[in-house]
Structures are given as structure tokens and as C-alpha cells.
Amino acid sequence: MTYIHSLDIHSLVPTNSCLVVCDLDALVAPDAPAWSLLQGSQAEIGAALAAHVSAKGVSRLDDYGGVAKSILSAGDAYLDAPPRVRDHAAVYSFTPKNKIAAEGLAMALCARKAGYRLLVLTVQKEGKYGKVWGLRALLSQPAGPRLVYYEDTASVVDELKAAPEGDHIEAVHVLAPGWEDQSSARADRVLTQAQYQAEVLLQG
């Protein structure tokens, strides 16, 4: 297991076989040493990821594109003052390794303003070190937290819920505008983007 923590964004060198975690509470400046690089087996990465989730009391994971993006941005531009989300939440997103320094940092800074506690990035979208692989690593940990996961890609929800670990998470399919006819077959719940926002945003 290679677990390198307390890195600033400029010292972070992601590979094709890792997960990246940003402690958003520690991201007090763009160059703050708030980043961690997780490398190793699925079990080892799962244990390290579970430690981050437990330390922050995270109980909700929000995918970015089609989900948290509807809160944090207007089009492709991040909001200077995004609405606040309910506590104990993390953003969970696929971001190619060559885009983490720019896009990952911008996402982290905006997510911090909205009240998210962690940002977890996979450098693969599918397969090993991808989104479902990372979630299964986390959920396979003994006595892991009961999580709610909001995701807009039906295939990701279906693959996760079909896995042995799928019973340990509530997977909510968020229907992105224009994709309402692509509902997940296995989701625990299906919501519109507006319904998702009503659930996760602080009111008033």
C-alpha cells in the first residue's frame, strides 16, 4: 500500500492506478497540503478511503456531473457562492489524472464553499480503479458506514447494486435533464435533479 498524504496540489502525481482524496476542511488555500494519493490493492485502498470517510463523518456521496454540478456550477463555470449542502457529504467523481491539477482543484475549492467535507476522485471511469471499483472497495470494509450515493449514470448504479456490496449502500439515480427515459433498473430510488437538490440543500 502506498498512501501519501498532506500533499499540495502541485506535489500530487496521480497514476492510472490510484484514487485521490482531498480533505476540503484542510483546503484553506489553493496550495494547502490537503491532498492524499491512495495506491495499492482494492482492500488497501478501501481501508484508507474508509478512514477518510469515517474521520469526516461522511454519510452521503454525490457524483459530480449531472448531480453536484447542478449545485456548484452554472453551465461550465463554478459559482463564486454556491448554495450550502447538508453536512456529512462528499463529492465522488471521475477526473482523468491529467486534469486533476486544474479541474480537480477548481471542483474542490467550490465544493468546500458549498459545505462538502471530502472530494474523492477516481482516475478511471470504469473497471479497475474506476467509480464502481472504488465504491466496492469502500463498502467491503467491516463495519463500514451506511452511505447514500447520488449518481446520474444508470449503468453505474446498476453495476454497483448488482455487486455483492450493493446491499450496503442506498443508490439513488438522479435523472439529468434530457435523460429522463434512461432510468436505472436497480436503483433504490429515482429522483429528478430538482428532487435531489431539495433533499441535499440546506433550506433557508
The arithmetic mean of pLDDT across residues 169-183, rounded, is: 89
pLDDT for the residue numbered 145: 66
The arithmetic mean of pLDDT across residues 189-200, rounded, is: 96
Phi, psi of 12 (to 5 degrees): -80, 120
Residue 204's pLDDT band (cuts 50, 70, 90): low
Distance CA 159, CA 166 (A): 9
pLDDT for the residue numbered 178: 81
pLDDT for the residue numbered 133: 98
Strands 169-175 and 189-192 turn out to be: parallel
Residue 181's pLDDT band (cuts 50, 70, 90): confident
pLDDT for the residue numbered 203: 83
- Share of residues in the chain with pLDDT > 90 (%): 89
How confident is the model over 91-121, as pLDDT tens digits? 999 999 999 999 999 999 999 999 999 999 9
The arithmetic mean of pLDDT across residues 57-66, rounded, is: 96
The arithmetic mean of pLDDT across residues 184-202, rounded, is: 96
- 10 Å CB burial of residue 146 (0-12, 13-18, 19+) is exposed
What domain range includes position 26?
Answer: 2-200
What mean pLDDT, rounded, does the chain reach?
Answer: 94
35 neighbors 21 (Cβ within 8 angstroms): yes
- Distance of alpha carbon 121 from its chain centroid, rounded? 6
User: What pTM does this model have?
Assistant: 0.96
pLDDT for the residue numbered 1: 65
Q: What is the 3-state secondary structure (H, E, C) of the chain?
A: CEEEEEECHHHCCCCCCCEEEEECCCCCCCCCCCEEEEECCHHHHHHHHHHHHHHCCCCEEEEHHHHHHHHHEECCEECCCCCCECCCEEEEEECCHHHHHHHHHHHHHHHHHHCCCEEEEECCCCCCCCHHHHHHHHHCCCCCCCEEEEECCHHHHHHHHHCHHHHHEEEEEEECCCCCCCCCCCCCEEEEHHHHHHHHECCC
pLDDT for the residue numbered 180: 78
The arithmetic mean of pLDDT across residues 176-181, rounded, is: 80
- Indicate if the pLDDT at residue 6 is higher than 70: yes
Strands 19-23 and 35-39 turn out to be: antiparallel
Residue 33: closest CA among 15, 7, 11: 7
Total number of domains constituting the chain = 1
How confident is the model over 125-166, as pLDDT tens digits? 999 999 999 999 999 998 766 899 999 999 999 999 999 999
